[in-house]
Amino acid sequence: MSIIWAIFVKDLRVEWRNREAVASMCVFGLLVVFLFNFAFETGREETLRMLPGLLWIAFAFAGILGFNRSFAAERDNSCLEGMTLAPIDPSAIFVGKLLANLLFLGGAEVVVVFAASLWYNFSFVPALGWFALIVLLGTLGYAALGTIFGAVAANTRMREVMLPVLQFPVAFWVLILSIDATSDALRGMGRKANTAGAARVAGLSLIFAVVSFLLFEYVLEE
Amino acid sequence: MLPDQVRAEWTLEAREVSKFFGDLVALRRVSMRVTPGDSVLLYGPNGAGKTTLLRTLAALARPNEGEVLFAGESLARNRSASKAHVGFVSHATFLYGELTARENLRFFGTLFGLGGLERKTDRALDLFSLRGRDREPVRTLSRGLQQRVTLARAFLHEPDFLLLDEPFTGLDASATTNLEDVLRRLPEEGRAVVFSTHSFEQGAAIAQRLVALENGQVRYDGPLSLAPLESLGINAVSGKHSLIKE
């Protein structure tokens, strides 16, 4: 646990010093929500239909920026390789970086949701519990994929382009399920529908997280 | 560090190691055994395979053929076996630019599970005269100071085997002298050092054993004093290697 914590704290410290990841994620997420607000005149029903997809698009693109930055710091002086010199389980590196990515993306999501509630004049409060749970579960799966694909892309030449090319085809499924479940939550569907939606997102995210955890060791191989 | 009687049984060994990068043969059936107390100069022209051999010994690169063993155990079966006992300096610093030298050492010390981390961090900083600069972000330090922090990182966990690839890079005269003294002391402490440098004279003044590499193959492995320098293409007076293509 101390290894995971050390990697997590190191990532927070690096981010606090350069403020590159979270700032760019927030700005990008806000721009997506802002531009859509001007592109479409929305009433309550249109907002309900559009908002889940819009939010997850903003989360997805903001996440890509964050995952790229997360591994840029590791790439600069071959720090990821430096970590592998230590007698630690490579999956500890994965978990430490996943926790940091979750925190950064979670922070950006709070800012985006707050802005969306203002610009679309939409209250998330009635569905906040289910909405927060689904966003958390979907973000877990998405960030797990971003952490492993970020490590893969870090070793390629066109890494900024490579990450979305690798990530989106796989993350598509967790995004689709998350949009669907978010839509149900915001529409105030019953407990049964929300539980089923959250369970589907949780199941897929758990699969992605476990598979990424198990495969990370091989990604670190030269 | 290990107790003397235990340490004596620990060896780091490359056995018939070959390494390919596509069609390029970086190492061809290289065998080399390092025991505690060894001081080995790895010498050869550019592209001879020095860096690849050091990376393979440090378990950063996996050989395509042959195996690397630590204390008789193959690293192919247990890659972590040697890690706590090996310190490695590469061309890359492995340092986070946004963190200070002290924070970098603390971080890597935690990864190595070191007890008495503050004391060991202070000792490593002192070893390379870094006190006073240890609270500045590494990215603001000169190349030479960054190299000293890199060396401090490699020495932090007091490894029994030090694998140093061009450790004198960027160091000024005083830091170079300091590092030479440190490297000379290591065998007396029962620790082994394998290092590469392009200055044969400098390396020969430290090491007792020479491993000469050329085109990925070992051309000589033995005491420096007995090395057939002329046939290896090494000019002992100028310290130049006739095969080094600058």
Q: What is the DSSP string of B171-214?
A: --HHHHHHHHHHHHHHHHTT-EEEEE-S-HHHHHTT-SEEEEEE
**Cβ contacts from A onto B, under 8 A:** 72
pLDDT in tens, chain B (246 residues): 555 555 547 899 999 999 999 888 899 999 999 999 999 999 988 888 999 999 999 988 899 999 999 888 888 877 777 888 999 999 899 999 999 999 999 999 999 999 889 999 999 999 998 988 989 999 999 999 999 999 999 999 999 999 999 999 989 999 999 999 999 999 998 899 999 998 888 888 999 999 999 899 999 898 988 777 777 777 765 555 544 433
- Chain A, nearest residue to B109 by Cα: A86
Q: Which residues of A touch B88 (CB under 8 A)?
A: 85
CB contact under 8 A, B92 and A85: no
DSSP B88-145: EE-SS----TTSBHHHHHHHHHHHTT-SSHHHHHHHHHHHTT-TTTTTSBGGGS-HHH
B108 touches chain A (CB under 8 A): yes
A215, pLDDT greater than 50: yes
CB of A78 less than 8 A from some CB of B: yes
Q: Which two three-digit tokens encode residue A113?
A: 């949701």
Nearest to A78 among B94, B99, B108 (CB): B94
CB–CB of B96 and A77 under 8 A? Answer: yes
How many Å apart are CA A199 and CA A185, to the nearest integer? 13
C-alpha–C-alpha distance, residues B115 and B109, integer Å: 9
**ipTM here:** 0.85
Interface test with B, best of A3, A14, A77, A220 (most B CBs within 10 A): A77
> Dihedral of CA A32/A33/A37/A42: which sign?
positive
Contact B107 A2 (CB under 8 A): no
> A86–B112: do the CB atoms touch at under 8 Å?
yes
Interface check for A123 against chain B (CB to CB < 8 A): the answer is: no
Using a CB–CB cutoff of 8 Å, tell me whether B61 touches chain A: yes
Chain A residue numbers touching B58 (CB-CB < 8 A): 85
